[in-house]
């Protein structure tokens, strides 16, 4: 398995529940983490909260640009609305780096959640189009932020589908998934298959609403 111990992981939008939750778990696993935000002071405040929660010192905060510059691997954890503009602004800083997109383009109406159409096919493919010099992967779409950030949840029971066209990059992202207790990273296909993985989150949210749960996914027989 790819060595991840020496990596610094940047989390764009790390002040929100999803970025915060993954940052917490990676910091607990010993990785250096930089929280990113549109405002450096918000990132620093979240980093301080997480240092206390995780009982570790290696969590810093910075604006998204500085976060992208400092990190070896960068998770994109912003809402779909801000996805394209943010990535476009970080093209240079993200060149040559592994980018993990966990963004689910979803809408909500009276009938609940539904997948939004995306011109490029998926959020991950939009990232690939905007970041031609980065190694774009897609993962962590289905993992519950509520479980991730809850220190009482010792093991986050779910598989994480990891998609991408670069074997070394998807292996490394699988290792980042495996670093979270209870989670298993599973290769889920090429990036062109990210659309249905993102869309499946609408089904999971419907499941969560019906069963009052924070459901995950398991792939059997592998």
Ligand X SMILES: NC(=O)c1ccc[n+]([C@@H]2O[C@H](COP(=O)([O-])OP(=O)(O)OC[C@H]3O[C@@H](n4cnc5c(N)ncnc54)[C@H](OP(=O)(O)O)[C@@H]3O)[C@@H](O)[C@H]2O)c1
CA angle (107, 109, 110) in 5-degree steps: 160
User: Least Å distance between CB 5 and ligand X?
Assistant: 25
Q: Which of residues 1-30 bind ligand X (CB under 6 A)?
A: 13, 15-19
Q: Which of 8, 38, 72, 200 binds ligand X (CB under 6 A)?
A: 38
Residue 153 DSSP symbol:
-
- Tell me: does residue 86 bind ligand X (CB under 6 A): yes
Rule CB under 6 A: choose which of 103, 130, 163, 197 binds ligand X: 103
Asked whether the beta carbons of 114 and 92 are under 8 A apart, the reply is: no
Work out whether 99 is an interface residue with ligand X (CB under 6 A). no
Candidate segments 91-99, 102-110, 161-169, 173-181, binder of ligand X by CB under 6 A: 102-110
Q: For ligand X, which is the closer residue by CB, 3 or 44?
A: 44
206 binds ligand X (CB under 6 A): no
Q: Where are the alpha helices (DSSP H) in the chain?
A: 17-28, 40-54, 64-70, 80-89, 123-130, 145-148, 167-178, 194-211
Distance CA 162, CA 173 (A): 7
Q: Rounded CA gap, 197 and 220, in Å?
A: 17
**Binding-site ranges for ligand X (CB under 6 A):** 13, 15-19, 37-39, 42, 77-82, 86, 102-104, 141, 144-145
């Amino acid at each position: 398995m790819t060595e991840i111990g020496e990596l610094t992981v940047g989390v764009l939008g790390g002040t929100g529940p999803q970025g915060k939750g993954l940052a917490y778990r990676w910091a607990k696993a010993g990785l250096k983490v930089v929280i990113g935000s549109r405002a450096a002071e918000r990132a620093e405040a979240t980093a301080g909260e997480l240092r206390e929660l995780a009982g570790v010192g290696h969590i810093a905060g910075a604006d998204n640009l500085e976060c992208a510059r400092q990190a070896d691997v960068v998770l994109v954890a912003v809402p779909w609305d801000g996805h394209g503009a943010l990535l476009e602004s970080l093209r240079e800083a993200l060149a040559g780096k592994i980018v993990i997109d966990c963004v689910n383009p979803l809408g909500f109406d009276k009938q609940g959640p539904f997948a939004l159409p995306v011109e490029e096919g998926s959020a991950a493919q939009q990232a690939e189009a905007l970041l031609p010099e980065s190694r774009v992967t897609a993962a962590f779409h289905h993992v519950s932020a509520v479980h991730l950030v809850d220190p009482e949840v010792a093991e986050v029971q779910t598989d994480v589908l990891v998609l991408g066209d670069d074997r070394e990059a998807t292996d490394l992202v699988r290792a980042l998934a495996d670093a979270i207790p209870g989670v298993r990273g599973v290769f889920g296909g090429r990036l062109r298959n990210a659309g249905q993985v993102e869309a499946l989150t609408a089904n999971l949210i419907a499941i969560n609403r019906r069963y009052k749960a924070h459901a995950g996914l398991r792939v059997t027989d592998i």
